Amino acid sequence: MRHALPLILAAVPAVAEDRPVLEVYTYDSFIAEWGPGPAVEKAFEASCGCDLRFTAAGDGAALLARLRLEGARTDADVVLGLDTALTAEAEASGLFAPHGIDVPPLDLPVAWEDDTFLPYDWGWFAFVHREGFEPPASFEALADSDAAILIQDPRSSTPGLGLILWVEAAHGVRAGAIWEGLADNVVTVTRGWSEAYGLFLEGEADMVLSYTTSPAYHLIAEDDDGFRAAPFEEGHYMQVEVAGMLAGTDRPALAREFLAFMLTDGFQSAIPTTNWMYPAVIPEDGLPEGFDTLVTPSTSLLLPPGEARDRAEEGIATWRDALSR
């Protein structure tokens, strides 16, 4: 028996190697131990007979930059973590294939018509602050105030790009004047959301660019009711996060299986209390208690993908010029 044991053990890796591997590029916080990644991996692997592997590649804008750099040589089968500010550019790259999924009814505040990208969550951008701080109620009021804010770089961060489009959608030709007014409110610009939010929690600023759902994390996970999202009179820009299948994947059936799974309870039920966003499909048990306390913007702003792509380039240039003065 002692001679047979090594033979049995030697067979185990061979079995594991026979499992197909699905490589998914996503952003850092998705696969953190407190993010949805671990629960999603466990649930999908229980049904697919595969090895689901996540690779972190920064925020959504950094994800797309990495894909474009790797091109057809990329190891990714699926990319999860782009949003509607990036989908037109992503589709124009030629790297993505139609998803081919029968899409179930979605719980989005906007109609969804996209044959390439599928949504998995959504939310509104907002400036988050601690209770007791009196926030400004608009971008103009923020620019006129002494409030210190933390924001993200739109060239590497989807929230940062969302802020650019928020100002563009709300103020149009006045976007430059708004950014000139905000320049002295900005404490620093971070590469991604995690860095900015961490600095905010350390007390480095009065407000941080995040989401209307961020206070739910503190309320539900930390039992702390001391955080708020500031409602702005102009309305709030929406983010719809999406996933897509790479045209060069050698496992298209498995990639489509994952995309279909993404819109089921096995994936969607993890979103509210791990990604702290609204799920694209409300789970059978509904939203967690505490989500009913969140700010609901009076106006939702969202540019069509093609317009978002065009306005983003101009908006980033305007932002860069204003903050460099």
Whether residue 265 is found in the same domain as residue 145:
no
Whether residue 19 is found in the same domain as residue 108:
yes
* Residue 1 belongs to some domain of the structure: no
3-state secondary structure the chain: CCCHHHHHHHHHHHHHHCCCEEEEEECHHHHCCCCCHHHHHHHHHHHHCCEEEEEECCCHHHHHHHHHHHHHHCCCCEEEEEECCCHHHHHHCCCEECCCCCCCCCCCCCCCCCCCEEEEEEEEEEEEEECCCCCCCCHHHHHHCCCCEEEECCCCCHHHHHHHHHHHHHHHHHHHHHHHHHHHHEEEEECCHHHHHHHHHCCCCCEEEEECCHHHHHHHHHCCCCEEEECCCCCEEEEEEEEEEECCCCCHHHHHHHHHHCCCHHHHCCHHHHHCCEECCCCCCCCCCCHHHCCCCCCEECCCHHHHHHHHHHHHHHHHHHHHC
Whether residue 303 is found in the same domain as residue 156:
yes
pLDDT in tens, 88-98: 999 999 999 99
Give me the pLDDT at residue 84, please: 93
Whether residue 234 is found in the same domain as residue 246:
no
Q: What is the CA radius of gyration of the chain?
A: 21
* Residue 36 belongs to some domain of the structure: yes
Band the pLDDT of 11: cuts 50, 70, 90: very low
Band the pLDDT of 127: cuts 50, 70, 90: very high
Q: Which domain holds residue 301?
A: 123-238+296-324
Give me the pLDDT at residue 17, please: 59
Whether residue 158 is found in the same domain as residue 262:
no
What is the number of domains present in the chain? 2
- Say if residue 68's pLDDT is above 70: yes
Whether residue 116 is found in the same domain as residue 257:
yes
- Better-scored residue on pLDDT, 13 or 204: 204
Whether residue 174 is found in the same domain as residue 27:
no
Give me the pLDDT at residue 5, please: 39
Predicted TM-score (pTM) of the model is: 0.89
10-18 long-range CB contacts below 8 Å, 24 or more apart? Answer: 16/51
Give me the pLDDT at residue 15, please: 45
Whether residue 67 is found in the same domain as residue 156:
no
Whether residue 157 is found in the same domain as residue 271:
no
* Residue 128 belongs to some domain of the structure: yes
Whether residue 210 is found in the same domain as residue 318:
yes
- Say if residue 325's pLDDT is above 80: no
Whether residue 246 is found in the same domain as residue 226:
no
Whether residue 274 is found in the same domain as residue 147:
no
* Residue 2 belongs to some domain of the structure: no
pLDDT in tens, 239-297: 999 999 999 999 999 999 999 999 999 999 999 999 999 999 999 999 999 999 999 99
* Residue 3 belongs to some domain of the structure: no
* Residue 271 belongs to some domain of the structure: yes
* Residue 282 belongs to some domain of the structure: yes
Give me the pLDDT at residue 14, please: 41
Q: What is the CATH number of the domain that holds 263?
A: 3.40.190.10
